[in-house]
Amino acid sequence: MGNHVETLRWNGSQIEMIDQRLLPQQIAYPAYDSAAGVAEAIRTMVVRGAPAIGVAAAYGVALEAERLKTEPADVFIKTLEEGFKILAASRPMAVNLFWALNRMHTLWENNRHLSQAALADRLLQEAHAILDEDIQTNRQMGAYGASLLEDGMRVLTHCNAGALATAGHGTALGVFRSAVESGKKISVFADETRPFLQGARLTAWEMVQEKIPVTLITDNMSGYFMSHGEIDAVVVGTDRVAANGDVANKIGTYMVAVLAKRHNIPFYVACPLSTIDLSLPDGNAIPIEERSADEVKGYRDCHWAPEGVAIRNPAFDITPAELVTALITEKGIVDNKTLVSGGLVDFISKKTA
């Protein structure tokens, strides 16, 4: 279980990514062979979800080096640096993007002595490693997260933090998968997640594929189900966590966290260490991506809002650390007490020492 959905796959010379804009109606794997191509795929949400964006960007760098490897040195260096910039500008939220680009850039700096062909090969090996490590990380996070869920629990999730948002297994959905693998019966409530419908299109699809019981609800229904005692826990993913434990995730997550607090329901955030941004003191410093008004006007070609109406479309919001019951990382669980007392920095330095 967990690897049924292939989000990114290497075909020997290109990276193929499942086109998430078309799911679940169509399964297509466009192939990419340059940094600009991968950046466009990230920008247009062919690939989305913080860890998957990071993995895609790593391949973007490797493909660019491969494409340029027979160019003169000055062209190679200049164009590859531009490739890094194009990828960094593709989407602002997911810190995994910058984490992966930094890792690739450091590798380049440390291997300046290699020939261009050898460097391109080394960068490709690193992209493969980032992909493999992501699946490994999700499995470790899944095991920690599964220990928090009891047999029979009904869990709510928002957006898609599944195999599709990662290299495989998923973060929040990885927790559900791991719990099911360990023999627990888990049933999932999926918020549809307007405006891009990642819950209705992607989370519901992943769960149906794997026969994990899933119920789709619209975003304004979670309070109803919580107040009727039908939800036992919430697990979501995240795009960036600040040093004080404030969590950025898909718009609407904050609303769910407030409701969970009101109803005394644990609110867990599945968060690989690569998603924690210690350079930002708190959630106010996290840049929020505003997306096109078209996404709110309607869906795909069907627009239902009147022309001329003012529209706002912040794609993410911040859930303050005080509302987070625990962060589930691949190195263990960070509880609310640790988070609100500023213990996240300490946790990371101990776990990465």
Q: Using CB under 6 A, list all residues that contact ligand MRU.
A: 48-51, 94, 159, 161, 165-166, 171, 198, 237-239, 249-250, 315
Q: Which is nearer to ligand MRU, 34 or 171 (CB)?
A: 171
The CB-of-48 to ligand MRU minimum distance in angstroms stands at 3
Residue nearest to ligand MRU (CB): 237
Residue 328 CA to residue 236 CA, distance in Å, equals: 10
DSSP 201: I
Residue closest to 56 by CA, chosen among 28, 74, 37: 37
Element of type H or E holding 281: none
Catalytic residues: 239
* Burial classification of residue 5, based on how many CB atoms lie within 10 Å of its CB (0-12 exposed, 13-18 middle, 19 or more buried): buried
CB under 8 Å to 288, separation ≥6 — which residues? Answer: 93, 248, 314, 315, 316, 317, 318
In a 3-state reduction of DSSP, which class is residue 98? helix
Which residue type sits at 351? Answer: K
Q: Which is nearer to ligand MRU, 53 or 149 (CB)?
A: 53
Q: Write out the two tokens for 284.
A: 């106010």
305 C-beta neighbours (distance < 10 Å), count:
12
202, 45 contact by CB (below 8 A): no
Q: Which is nearer to ligand MRU, 123 or 163 (CB)?
A: 163
Nearest 5°: phi and psi at 267?
-120, 105
The CB-of-193 to ligand MRU minimum distance in angstroms stands at 8
The CB-of-203 to ligand MRU minimum distance in angstroms stands at 10
The CB-of-164 to ligand MRU minimum distance in angstroms stands at 9
Residue 106 CA to residue 93 CA, distance in Å, equals: 22
The CB-of-145 to ligand MRU minimum distance in angstroms stands at 12
The CB-of-65 to ligand MRU minimum distance in angstroms stands at 26
Q: Write out the two tokens for 254.
A: 């904050």
Residue 58 CA to residue 84 CA, distance in Å, equals: 9
Q: Which is nearer to ligand MRU, 116 or 319 (CB)?
A: 319
14 C-beta neighbours (distance < 10 Å), count:
18
Q: Which is nearer to ligand MRU, 164 or 339 (CB)?
A: 164
Residue positions counted in the chain: 353
Q: Which is nearer to ligand MRU, 4 or 78 (CB)?
A: 4
Q: What Cα–Cα distance (Å) separates residue 295 from each residue in 40, 290, 314?
A: 18, 11, 11
